[in-house]
Structure 1
Amino acid sequence: MPEFDYVIVGAGTAGCVLAARLSENPANEVLLVEAGRPSGPEAIKTWYLWPTLAGSDIDWCHWTEPQPGLADTRLLLSQGKVLGGSSATNGTMHVRGRPTDYDAWAGFAQGWDHASLLPYFRRSETASTGNPELRGTDGPMRVAALPLRTELGEALHRAAIDAGYPETDDLNGAHPDGVGRNEHNVVAGVRQSAADAYLGPARDRKNLTVLTDATARWLQFAYRRCTGVLLQTADGLQSFSARIEVVVAAGAIGSPHLLMASGIGPADHLTEHGVPVLVDAPQVGSNLYDHVLSGVVYQSPDESSPQPPQTFVVRPPGDAGGPHHGDVLMVCVSVPNHSPALAGPINGYTIAFGLMRPLSRGTVRLANADPTQRPLVNPRYLSVREDIDRMIQGLRMAREVGDQPALDAWRKEEALPGPDVQNYDDCLRYLQRSATPFFHPAGTCRLGDDPNSVVDGELRLRGVEGVRVVDASVMPAPICANTNATVLAIAERAADLIDDSRVRPGPTPTRH
């Protein structure tokens, strides 16, 4: 049986960070396992082609259960299945949450407040601008606003300011609220995934092995200590041993699925499906949340060629404009962008709005005892009335920006939802047809100091030894931002936690 000190399951954002950081120590023998391919199609390099990757062969293609809050629609919840994971298939937006988002995490576990995470945000990035006390200057991920400037894009920027939102020169800096040019993980026009940034420089290390096209089926245990992982590879089922730890970094859907398939989860659920219970952990697969996205789409007055995409983020201050203004993030996009279920114009612009602090919570559950079967994913989008109210408020906020005089020359008409959609019921029906996932699932293996949490403050899985979980699943509460930048910081901190606690098993003492 091949042996390593650390076996990392999942080569998404967190897994790439961990593999690179742990292998910096030559005493660590590290195996990184990825179910997907080592690389993707040519479109993976171009950031604005990310929608073409959804549903492709480098996507896990998770479909939700029917969503009652969205007229029983089933939605594609895209997650990258390739080296780099979703950092290789997403829109490359690099946006941190507010400091108060992370300070709220400290209520779940000490050491997860903003001040504690800031060094890891900085360590993960090289930012082209910003205060070096807050921004990274020599990290692997190179982040910057795109140099592209278009007339429509600049008009969108002006409209958001005219709508009353303050301008900020750094959404990831001292003033994270307002209208800002969002940063991207794009270098010289080409996407930079976590695999590019972290694994690329580390691939030649003799103490790092990267295995692709290998899917984890079970964690293996001797009593309650994890001894390794059973993988499905091209050569069949193979066991790989971990001398020190297995780190599960398979994402907010994959991580709880692997734990439950291994007998760690809600006992009644596991028993129902004939899975032997190793640890009754009711919260595994619970607390699933995702940001919900919709938008207002405007048609341009001419039929000229569409402009290149340019985006701006509007993060309304949390203490202004109403009690829930700060729960909505808007993305102004210089192209029409809407749910594939709806027909829209070829030319125009979009004011998208996302509910960033949803109250709705869902689950990831086993379909049956067969670990090869896809899990049942039920985010329960808009299942709480207050979430609906806040999305309708987001619709009004987006219209206020999209209707500004700065956009008069670019606006023929509101195409979606259309000017006739005004009252509460009509707005709700539009949201039920137009809402899509923001592709930011999280929370299913939440961290905490309390005994009900799935992992403790050092990300160690409760109830067993030798397992940690490191990915978006450990996030205990939502952040008002895309999640990738935060997962980078979580993994950077986890690498320190793991290597600081490293104890290599020694020889068995001899009795005299």
Structure 2
Amino acid sequence: MGSSRWWRKMATGLSALLLCLRFCFGRGGFPFIHQSTAAPMVSYYDYIIVGGGTAGCPLAATLSQTYSVLVLERGGSPFRNPNITHLSRFGAALSDLSPKSPSQRFVSEDGVINARARVLGGGTSLNAGFYTRAGSPYIAKAGWDAKLVNESYRWVEKVVAFQPPLRQWQSAVRNSLLEIGIRPYNGYTLDHLYGTKVGGTIFDGYGRRHTSAHLLRYANPSGITVFLHAPVQKILFTTEGKPRPTADGVIFTDASGLNHWAYLRRGPNSEVIVCSGALGSPQLLMLSGLGPKRHLQAHNISVVLDQPLVGQGMSDNPMNAVFVPSPRPVEVSLIQVVGITHNGSYIEGASGENFGTDQTQSTRDFGMFSPKIGQFSTLPPKQRTQKALDRAIQAMRFLPRSAFVGGFILEKIMGPLSRGHLQLRTKNPNDNPAVTFNYFKDRGDLERCVQGIKMIEKVIESRSFSRFRYNYLPISSLLNMTANAPVNMLPKHANASRSLEQFCRDTVMTIWHYHGGCHVGKVVDRDYKVIGVDALRVIDGSTFDYSPGTNPQATVMMLGRYMGVKMLRERYAKNETYS
């Protein structure tokens, strides 16, 4: 009898343990991640971080070592989401248009279809994975401490950076770049160096994605709380008895629609830190009363501070690509090799078919250049309507298998020089703001694009790339939609011999590296403190004037860690001074 009772207790305990492990695993093994419906109505923290994205997670993990940190993420968890966790599913989340998708589609006023993250880990939970640091001149211009920058990169890279396997097609891209003179060859490196290199990836050797949310393993579990599906409605400010407005908390909504109030603990060093991305951060500042006075008043928003530069200077790196049909099979690869040129454009490539699909004819697509995810260059931007997208997706079902064998050679513009702006559409933080990027408005960007396309031509025509192209197809066939090409991917144009400038304008797409809206020196200072108010910072890509490196994710993660360490050091120094 006693033995039977003992076994029942053991079985009950084991079941509870397995249930706990299953529950925690669904949260990435992090017991401090909760659904927003579990949040108290009122709570207090040393730091409140709005946005558990690329910068927010490493920042929170760092600050939690000493202080209490609340992270409010408007999306869900990336862990155990099959559309996020593996390379083979790339594009599945980006093509999901449901309200609960980790990717929220938006269309810029230019007509280019784009996406913003709505998930813990931010863009690192959705992107193509390329990992590369910013160049030394970028770091110097930003005024960052180079030693701490390197330490912060290494802190990130221990968890998320890997060397990709270089197979035949990517090797041909590398060899072609060297053949056409994009030298020297820098081998595998995470550094941003002129010439040709193999970069890092956030996909490990098994194809598993490692996001900035994985950096939460560094967090102090007793010092951090993360709430999912917790969009922040606005930042709260105190003005009474203060020389200028001071952030003292936020209002956020849970998944049931109930409002919750999170406040900063009393003290001179507690802060609200906005890490909501290039769209979300300027949007939240405006919703909270920081922005152009007339624009806020037009939306019946009480003005806390007339700051006309919030939402200004928006940029998106334009991408143009050429599809190269191959007479032989190619591997499935995302971006692994890059040619970093002196003329301001980067040459990269991706290959293969069936990203995130099975092998049926009806689901085959072009991976990171599929109309399913909005990468649609068969029509000029203003003509890329949802009906046109649907027609393109339907047409893919009837293309022969040979049409999908090949890859894309792309060029991305450094910078860019062109600037736009962001404005509110509604007072709902879940709605997309209106954003204009003004692609190629600056003549310098257009010239760089033309130079980049000319380099793509040389890559495709190089001896190193010959085994992956049809000899009977000249580059003009790929650029001008000739009937004998296995697949037509480019916009029709009245003039078959149109200029490369027109080609750039017609085929422009995004590479998801948009930035700006809260620039350093205009909206925030060098310490990322919002100018004109107290206890409020913005730390993310919205503060960038130029996109760092050939992909910004490494630098955004680094910046979260970098600023966390810097804030802890500054706070420790103050405490030592006053003790």
TM-score, structure 1 normalization: 0.84
Cα distance in 1, alignment partners of residues 327 and 566 from structure 2: 56
C-alpha deviation, 1:178, in angstroms: 1.5
> Which one of the candidate residues 80, 90, 95 is aligned to 1:50?
90
C-alpha deviation, 1:247, in angstroms: 0.7
Q: Cα deviation per residue 1:245-277 (whole Å; 9 max; x = unaligned)? A: 111000010000000000001112212222111
1:23 alignment partner AA: S
1:113-152 correspondence to structure 2 within 5 Å: 114=146, 117-126=149-158, 140-141=159-160, 143-147=161-165, 149-152=166-169
Cα distance in 2, alignment partners of residues 383 and 454 from structure 1: 23
> Which one of the candidate residues 95, 103, 122 is aligned to 1:85?
122
C-alpha deviation, 1:280, in angstroms: 1.2
C-alpha deviation, 1:387, in angstroms: 1.4
Q: Cα deviation per residue 1:428-463 (whole Å; 9 max; x = unaligned)? A: 333333211111111211112xxxx11111111111
Which residue of the partner structure matches residue 256 of structure 1?
A: 282
Cα distance in 2, alignment partners of residues 47 and 447 from structure 1: 35
Which residue of the partner structure matches residue 479 of structure 2?
A: 417
Q: Give the CA RMSD over aligned residues.
A: 2.6
Which residue of the partner structure matches residue 177 of structure 1?
A: 194
C-alpha deviation, 1:183, in angstroms: 0.6
Q: Unpaired segments of 5 or more residues in structure 2?
A: 1-41, 240-244, 353-365, 370-374, 379-391, 397-402, 483-492
Q: Which moved more, 1:247-256 or 1:438-447?
A: 438-447
Which residue of the partner structure matches residue 472 of structure 1?
A: 541
The 8 Å contact of residues 318 and 439 in structure 2, kept in 1 or not, is answered as yes
C-alpha deviation, 1:310, in angstroms: 5.6
> Which one of the candidate residues 216, 229, 241 is aligned to 1:199?
216
Q: Cα deviation per residue 1:351-392 (whole Å; 9 max; x = unaligned)? A: 110012211111121113444432111112222222122111
Q: Which has the higher helix share?
A: 2
The 8 Å contact of residues 292 and 381 in structure 1, kept in 2 or not, is answered as yes
Cα distance in 1, alignment partners of residues 125 and 449 from structure 2: 29
SS in 1 for 2:222: coil
Cα distance in 1, alignment partners of residues 152 and 429 from structure 2: 34
C-alpha deviation, 1:315, in angstroms: 3.2
Which residue of the partner structure matches residue 136 of structure 1?
A: none
2:261 matches 1:239: yes
Cα distance in 2, alignment partners of residues 311 and 277 from structure 1: 44
> Which one of the candidate residues 97, 104, 113 is aligned to 1:61?
104
Which residue of the partner structure matches residue 509 of structure 1?
A: none
Cα distance in 2, alignment partners of residues 260 and 476 from structure 1: 20
Cα distance in 2, alignment partners of residues 217 and 247 from structure 1: 14
C-alpha deviation, 1:334, in angstroms: 3.2
Q: 1:424 to 1:446 in 2, by over 3 A?
A: farther
SS in 2 for 1:377: strand
SS in 1 for 2:523: coil
Cα distance in 1, alignment partners of residues 68 and 412 from structure 2: 42
SS in 1 for 2:140: helix
1:481-492 correspondence to structure 2 within 5 Å: 481-492=550-561
Which residue of the partner structure matches residue 433 of structure 1?
A: 506
C-alpha deviation, 1:11, in angstroms: 0.4
C-alpha deviation, 1:288, in angstroms: 0.9
2:376 matches 1:307: no
1:21-420 correspondence to structure 2 within 5 Å: 21-25=62-66, 28-39=67-78, 41-47=81-87, 49-56=89-96, 57-67=100-110, 74-105=111-142, 111-112=143-144, 114=146, 117-126=149-158, 140-141=159-160, 143-147=161-165, 149-166=166-183, 167-173=185-191, 176-189=193-206, 190-196=208-214, 198-202=215-219, 205-223=221-239, 224-235=245-256, 236-243=258-265, 244-302=270-328, 304=329, 306-309=330-333, 311-318=335-342, 325=343, 327-335=344-352, 338=369, 339-342=375-378, 345-412=403-470, 413=473, 414=475, 416-418=478-480
Q: 1:478 to 1:192 in 2, by over 3 A?
A: closer
